[in-house]
Amino acid sequence: MSEAARKEGREAALMALSALLGARLSAAAAIREAHGRDESWHAVAMPDAVAFAETTDEVAAIMRICAAHGMPVIPFGAGTSLEGHVSAVHGGLSLDLSRMDRIIEVNTADLDVRVEAGITRKVLNDYLRDTGLFFPIDPGANATLGGMAATRASGTNAVRYGTMRENVLALTAVMADGSIIRTGTRARKSSAGYDLTRLLIGSEGTLGIITELTLRLYGIPEAVRSGVVPFASIEGAVDAVIETIQSGLPVARIEILDPLSIRACNAYSKLALAEVPTLFVEFHGTEASVAEQADRFGAIAAGHGGQQAEWASKPEDRTRLWEARHNAYYAALAFQPGKKGMVTDVCVPISRLAEAISGTLADLETSFLKAPIVGHAGDGNFHMLLLMDPSDPRDLAEATRIHDLMVARALSLGGTCTGEHGIGEGKIKFLEAEHGPGVGVMRAIKQALDPKGILNPGKIFAG
């Protein structure tokens, strides 16, 4: 397509969208700028306009207009992604779903809920509290459920409850041609045809736009015990995690923080933790079972140089602890003001976690960059938050070098380049290394379902 034809198509699309949406279509620079960035170091790429959709039918109408005019569409939830997922690298329309935040139905008898895609996890859980149920997936950021599904998010609770992959029963999605599909049912299992639910989960807005989700819920545990366990060495802390998982202990959360992370969290969240390798743990169950779990864990930790756990006895202490953990990314950024974070995200088989982390620490020892390490250790998933200035070529090259080493090591250990953040624009180069000819199959699916390449172009695949 010639540049003139392209420009003409975009203008025609914007006119039609304006007629459809009125004031809910915005071309204001501040709004476009806010929709062209996520929380990562990736460069802002502004869309041509931002649409605030209110219904699935409206999303479908928007898609039909954009399809007719070859206009890219980038779904936008809360903008908390970490790999440049929402940036409009080819311009186009940012489709903001945050006004689609209704809870459509709660089925307490079946432990499920149907929501619109723009609701955030905190709003959902606040609403659910009175029912005695909760949705466990917890990526830290207060992301939208649609965004969490699109990136196959997980977080601290995944070791016990699984990820978005395991906890979405059904989706409503608008496809590239504006058709609306509903995948899955409320039944807990099905063998009826291809698993379109799981295909859309993790597709990062490149195959369809998720507008509604049916989610699994869980009973709020009768008893919860959270605590902090300092270790003499990072190896000891990792080995305690490995033994905990291998022993089948049903830990609900088991997070690792290195001394640098603890220092950043102490400063940012006003804590006074010892600046040593530390595990944050949590157990869910009955009073008796959490006590038993905590005892068993304590014995394992002691065997690897762990000190006595300091238990958060009051709910507010527990909340404070996990808020500090969730703010570790912001704490790290505050640690070196002016720097941004290249947030890495490898995940390896649990038995190889010690090698993966110690290898990364050895790489960092030779580097001039600082990088706190935090991780969902129970899943074999950890993040090195490389603090760097992306406008400084020396910083960027060094961060890239260390990240490349980390991913190569994870792949050689049988792992993945990303446990929960997705490919976005930041990890495209790793996809081929991880999947080889599988990338060709992914491209064929993309081509079949989005032949014009208008759904979040430039993400997952180059182009």
- By CB under 8 A, the residues from 175 to 194 that bind a second copy are 175, 179-183, 185-194
Q: Which residues contact 305 (CB under 8 A, 6 or more apart)?
A: 231, 232, 233, 236
The residue range among 5-13, 256-264, 385-393, 422-430 that interacts with a second copy, by the rule CB under 8 A, is 422-430
**Where are the extended beta strands (E) located within 206-300?**
208-216, 218-219, 223-230, 253-257, 278-285
Contact between residue 181 and residue 175 where contact means Cβ atoms under 8 Å apart: yes
User: Of residues 4, 29, 109, 272, which one binds a second copy by CB under 8 A?
Assistant: 109
Q: Report the alpha-carbon distance of residue 397 to residue 133 in Å, rounded.
A: 47
Pick 394 or 443: Cβ nearer a second copy: 443
Pick 271 or 461: Cβ nearer a second copy: 461
User: Of residues 207, 254, 324, 406, which one binds a second copy by CB under 8 A?
Assistant: 207
Burial of 273 (0-12, 13-18, 19+ CB in 10 A): buried
User: Of residues 211, 344, 418, 456, which one binds a second copy by CB under 8 A?
Assistant: 418
State which of positions 273-292 bind a second copy (CB under 8 A).
289
User: Of residues 224, 274, 408, 442, which one binds a second copy by CB under 8 A?
Assistant: 442
Q: Output DSSP code: residue 250.
A: -
* Listed residue (149, 121, 120) closest to 136, CA to CA: 121
Give residue 405's Cα distance to chain centre: 22
Pick 90 or 152: Cβ nearer a second copy: 152
Q: Is 229 in the site for a second copy (CB under 8 A)?
A: no
Count of positions on this chain that bind a second copy (CB under 8 A): 83
Q: Is 196 in the site for a second copy (CB under 8 A)?
A: yes
Pick 103 or 123: Cβ nearer a second copy: 103
Q: Is 224 in the site for a second copy (CB under 8 A)?
A: no
Q: Is 165 in the site for a second copy (CB under 8 A)?
A: yes
CA angle 194, 198, 203 (to 5 degrees): 115
**Where are the extended beta strands (E) located within 17-167?**
25-26, 49-52, 73-76, 93-96, 103-107, 112-116, 133-134
The residue range among 120-128, 225-233, 374-382, 384-392 that interacts with a second copy, by the rule CB under 8 A, is 374-382
The mark string for 120-159 relative to a second copy (x by CB under 8 A, - otherwise) is: -------------------------------xxxx---x-
State which of positions 397-416 bind a second copy (CB under 8 A).
410-411, 414-416
Q: Report the alpha-carbon distance of residue 404 to residue 412 in Å, rounded.
A: 12
Contact between residue 228 and residue 297 where contact means Cβ atoms under 8 Å apart: no
Q: Which residues contact 304 (CB under 8 A, 6 or more apart)?
A: 231, 236, 237, 239, 240, 243
Q: Is 111 in the site for a second copy (CB under 8 A)?
A: yes
Burial 22-60 (b: 16+ CB within 10 A, else e): eebbbeeeebbebbbbbbbbbeebbbbbbbbbbebebbb
User: Of residues 423, 456, 457, 458, which one binds a second copy by CB under 8 A?
Assistant: 423
Pick 23 or 192: Cβ nearer a second copy: 192
State which of positions 246-275 bind a second copy (CB under 8 A).
246, 248
State which of positions 343-362 bind a second copy (CB under 8 A).
345, 347-351
Q: Is 295 in the site for a second copy (CB under 8 A)?
A: no
State which of positions 1-60 bind a second copy (CB under 8 A).
none
CB of 15 to a second copy, least distance (A): 28
Pick 189 or 314: Cβ nearer a second copy: 189
Neighbour tally for 387: CB within 10 Å? 23
